[in-house]
Homo-oligomer: A and B are copies of this chain.
Protein backbone atom coordinates (compact mmCIF):
# COMPACT_ATOMS: atom_id res chain seq x y z
CA UNK A 1 0.00 0.00 0.00
CA UNK A 2 1.23 3.41 -0.78
CA UNK A 3 2.62 5.27 2.15
CA UNK A 4 2.70 9.01 1.82
CA UNK A 5 5.88 9.32 3.77
CA UNK A 6 7.73 7.29 1.16
CA UNK A 7 6.94 9.75 -1.62
CA UNK A 8 9.92 11.99 -1.90
CA UNK A 9 9.21 15.68 -1.84
CA UNK A 10 9.34 17.24 -5.26
CA UNK A 11 12.70 18.82 -6.01
CA UNK A 12 12.43 22.51 -6.75
CA UNK A 13 15.44 24.06 -8.39
CA UNK A 14 16.44 26.69 -10.88
CA UNK A 15 19.39 27.82 -12.95
CA UNK A 16 20.67 31.27 -13.72
CA UNK A 17 23.77 32.57 -15.46
CA UNK A 18 26.15 35.38 -14.55
CA UNK A 19 28.95 36.72 -16.75
CA UNK A 20 31.93 37.64 -14.60
CA UNK A 21 32.58 41.37 -14.42
CA UNK A 22 35.99 43.04 -14.55
CA UNK A 23 35.40 44.55 -11.12
CA UNK A 24 34.66 41.16 -9.54
CA UNK A 25 38.14 39.82 -10.21
CA UNK A 26 40.98 40.35 -7.74
CA UNK A 27 44.69 40.99 -8.13
CA UNK A 28 45.29 37.25 -8.62
CA UNK A 29 43.05 37.48 -11.71
CA UNK A 30 40.34 35.29 -10.21
CA UNK A 31 36.92 36.17 -8.85
CA UNK A 32 37.37 37.47 -5.31
CA UNK A 33 35.82 34.82 -3.02
CA UNK A 34 33.44 37.27 -1.34
CA UNK A 35 31.67 37.90 -4.64
CA UNK A 36 30.26 34.38 -4.62
CA UNK A 37 27.92 35.39 -1.80
CA UNK A 38 26.35 37.79 -4.31
CA UNK A 39 26.01 35.00 -6.87
CA UNK A 40 24.28 32.78 -4.30
CA UNK A 41 21.84 35.64 -3.73
CA UNK A 42 21.36 35.84 -7.51
CA UNK A 43 20.44 32.17 -7.36
CA UNK A 44 17.89 32.70 -4.59
CA UNK A 45 16.36 35.72 -6.37
CA UNK A 46 15.95 33.65 -9.53
CA UNK A 47 14.38 30.88 -7.46
CA UNK A 48 12.01 33.40 -5.89
CA UNK A 49 11.00 34.70 -9.32
CA UNK A 50 10.41 31.25 -10.70
CA UNK A 51 8.47 29.82 -7.76
CA UNK A 52 6.68 32.92 -6.51
CA UNK A 53 8.55 33.46 -3.27
CA UNK A 54 10.49 36.66 -3.94
CA UNK A 55 11.88 38.83 -1.19
CA UNK A 56 9.12 41.33 -1.99
CA UNK A 57 6.40 38.70 -1.54
CA UNK A 58 7.74 37.85 1.89
CA UNK A 59 7.99 41.50 2.81
CA UNK A 60 4.39 42.17 1.74
CA UNK A 61 3.35 39.28 3.97
CA UNK A 62 5.13 40.95 6.87
CA UNK A 63 8.31 38.87 6.97
CA UNK A 64 11.96 38.91 6.13
CA UNK A 65 14.20 35.87 5.84
CA UNK A 66 17.70 36.63 7.17
CA UNK A 67 20.52 34.16 6.68
CA UNK A 68 21.65 32.40 9.83
CA UNK A 69 24.08 29.96 8.29
CA UNK A 70 26.22 29.84 5.16
CA UNK A 71 28.75 27.22 4.10
CA UNK A 72 30.81 27.42 0.94
CA UNK A 73 33.32 24.97 -0.52
CA UNK A 74 35.46 26.57 -3.21
CA UNK A 75 36.62 24.01 -5.79
CA UNK A 76 38.00 26.02 -8.66
CA UNK A 77 38.43 29.62 -9.73
CA UNK A 78 36.86 31.58 -12.58
CA UNK A 79 37.98 34.80 -14.20
CA UNK A 80 36.97 37.74 -16.44
CA UNK A 81 35.00 36.64 -19.45
CA UNK A 82 33.90 33.37 -17.86
CA UNK A 83 30.20 32.72 -17.44
CA UNK A 84 29.00 30.80 -14.42
CA UNK A 85 25.81 28.82 -14.08
CA UNK A 86 24.23 28.90 -10.64
CA UNK A 87 22.03 25.96 -9.70
CA UNK A 88 19.83 26.62 -6.67
CA UNK A 89 18.04 23.69 -5.06
CA UNK A 90 15.38 23.96 -2.35
CA UNK A 91 15.95 21.44 0.44
CA UNK A 92 12.66 20.41 2.10
CA UNK A 93 12.67 20.67 5.88
CA UNK A 94 10.09 20.47 8.68
CA UNK A 95 11.54 23.38 10.62
CA UNK A 96 10.52 27.01 10.16
CA UNK A 97 13.46 27.59 7.85
CA UNK A 98 14.41 27.86 4.21
CA UNK A 99 17.44 25.81 3.25
CA UNK A 100 19.08 25.98 -0.16
CA UNK A 101 21.87 23.97 -1.73
CA UNK A 102 23.87 25.45 -4.57
CA UNK A 103 26.21 24.24 -7.24
CA UNK A 104 28.03 26.84 -9.32
CA UNK A 105 29.47 25.60 -12.62
CA UNK A 106 31.87 27.12 -15.11
CA UNK A 107 29.49 27.17 -18.04
CA UNK A 108 32.18 26.43 -20.63
CA UNK A 109 32.78 22.84 -19.45
CA UNK A 110 30.29 22.45 -16.60
CA UNK A 111 33.09 21.82 -14.13
CA UNK A 112 32.14 22.61 -10.53
CA UNK A 113 33.33 25.99 -9.24
CA UNK A 114 31.78 25.69 -5.79
CA UNK A 115 29.12 24.04 -3.70
CA UNK A 116 27.29 25.85 -0.94
CA UNK A 117 24.34 25.80 1.40
CA UNK A 118 22.46 28.55 3.18
CA UNK A 119 19.83 28.54 5.92
CA UNK A 120 17.33 31.33 6.44
CA UNK A 121 14.85 31.85 9.25
CA UNK A 122 11.72 33.97 9.24
CA UNK A 123 11.48 37.24 11.17
CA UNK A 124 8.46 39.48 11.44
CA UNK A 125 9.05 43.00 10.13
CA UNK A 126 9.41 44.17 13.74
CA UNK A 127 12.23 41.71 14.30
CA UNK A 128 10.64 38.72 16.05
CA UNK A 129 11.97 35.28 15.17
CA UNK A 130 9.21 32.93 13.95
CA UNK A 131 9.28 29.48 15.51
CA UNK A 132 6.56 28.18 13.21
CA UNK A 133 6.21 28.58 9.48
CA UNK A 134 4.42 31.83 8.61
CA UNK A 135 1.10 31.14 6.89
CA UNK A 136 2.24 32.45 3.51
CA UNK A 137 5.17 30.02 3.58
CA UNK A 138 3.02 27.08 4.67
CA UNK A 139 0.72 27.77 1.71
CA UNK A 140 3.68 28.08 -0.58
CA UNK A 141 4.96 24.65 0.54
CA UNK A 142 1.56 23.08 -0.04
CA UNK A 143 1.25 24.67 -3.44
CA UNK A 144 4.54 23.14 -4.57
CA UNK A 145 4.12 19.89 -2.66
CA UNK A 146 7.26 20.21 -0.61
Residues in chain A within 8 A of chain B (CB atoms) = 21-23, 25-30, 32-34, 37-38, 41-42, 45, 54-56, 64, 66-75, 77, 79-81
Q: Of B33, B70, B73, which is within 8 A of A66 by CB?
A: B33
The quantity of this chain's copies bound in the complex is 4
Known pairs A22-B55, A34-B41, A38-B23; A74 contacts B69 (CB<8 A): yes
Known pairs A26-B22, A28-B64; A71 contacts B74 (CB<8 A): no
Complex Cα gap A21–B16 (Å): 14
B-side contacts of A67, CB under 8 Å: 33, 74
Judging by beta carbons under 8 Å apart, are A77 and B66 in contact? yes
Complex Cα gap A23–B41 (Å): 8
